[in-house]
Structure 1
Amino acid sequence: MKRILFFATPVDIVPVLKRFEANAPLKFVEMGNLATPNRAIYLNSSEIPNPGIATHETGSLSQGYMVSHRDTKNNMDSFVGRKGEKRWSLDNSDNEETVILIMAGLGRTGTLLPGNMATLHETPVAQQLMKWFQSALKQEGFTKVRDWWLGREALAMLKAGKRLTTTAEQSPPEFDLTLPK
């Protein structure tokens, strides 16, 4: 699995998304296991609600989006849930020309939670989407600290001693990103 790890505030991530989608017409589809096959589909990143604001106290469980070219057909699985109800799942494993974007961002405690873009696939399309996103990070002034790309505000938060946790708001400080000595 290829993965790009990053920390971004709303001010950091919005221009990255704009630059990323300038490469081709893309769509951002809400992911998750839902009781309906209907998903919110955003044809422009500016339509995504609150980019850079975490939707969960754990970065990896914040709202994720399947990103692909607009004309890509998304495959969805249906299954029976624990209580016998029908559910639908949209997953990267079933969609070879997609990537997953979880922005996470500022949590309710002021902690900055990690985002990532990832794909299970080596298809040219999936790999191109990954390259476009990484290029957008670099062009928007993100700095690499250890394995993480940090936006300007995220880096300023780190330098000011604010928490940038690599896991969850409630995690102990040993899971926080620190500047190299």
Structure 2
Amino acid sequence: MKKTEIRNILIEANLNSFVIALFDEVEDLRNYNFYDCFRPANFITERFNEEDKQKYNLDRYVFLFETMDDNLEFLVYDRELKGYIRYHIDEARPFSNYEVLTWDGTFVQQFVTWYEDDHTDDEILKICDLFGLKYGREMLESIKENLGTSYTMEQTNHWINDTIEKINGRLKNK
């Protein structure tokens, strides 16, 4: 799939202009005091041969962004369910074994990272606004109230799952 086709999918999904600017590489998260972890993933699909295209079912699933350095994670769009998957390429699991999330649901786990990275409330709310996330303020209040400053991985996972449920962020379970 060509970069212009992927860009059109972002537009059809009604994502904020900031997301499209990230895809066009005219905007950068570092400009907002965040590390650059949202880069177009079109380079990976350019490397796929026909066997890979079949394996990844690229007619249905579209690699949008690299969300972790070194190709560790990608944001993939499910054209059928019109939702998003945080795909870990090294796990080699089929897309059908991942949960499909709404746009906001996709960012719940990322929200924890922003919180743990000691971003200010204003920085977090600004980035939520730029990404077009509807539940930024609610998530910020919830994470402070339910996790505070000291919590376990189990508590974090519970908060993530609970929050995804509260915002109706899950289109399909694993």
Q: TM-score under structure 2 normalisation?
A: 0.28
Relative to its length, the structure with more strand (as a share) is 1
Relative to its length, the structure with more helix (as a share) is 2
1 or 2 for the larger relative contact order (CA 8 Å, sep ≥6)? Answer: 1
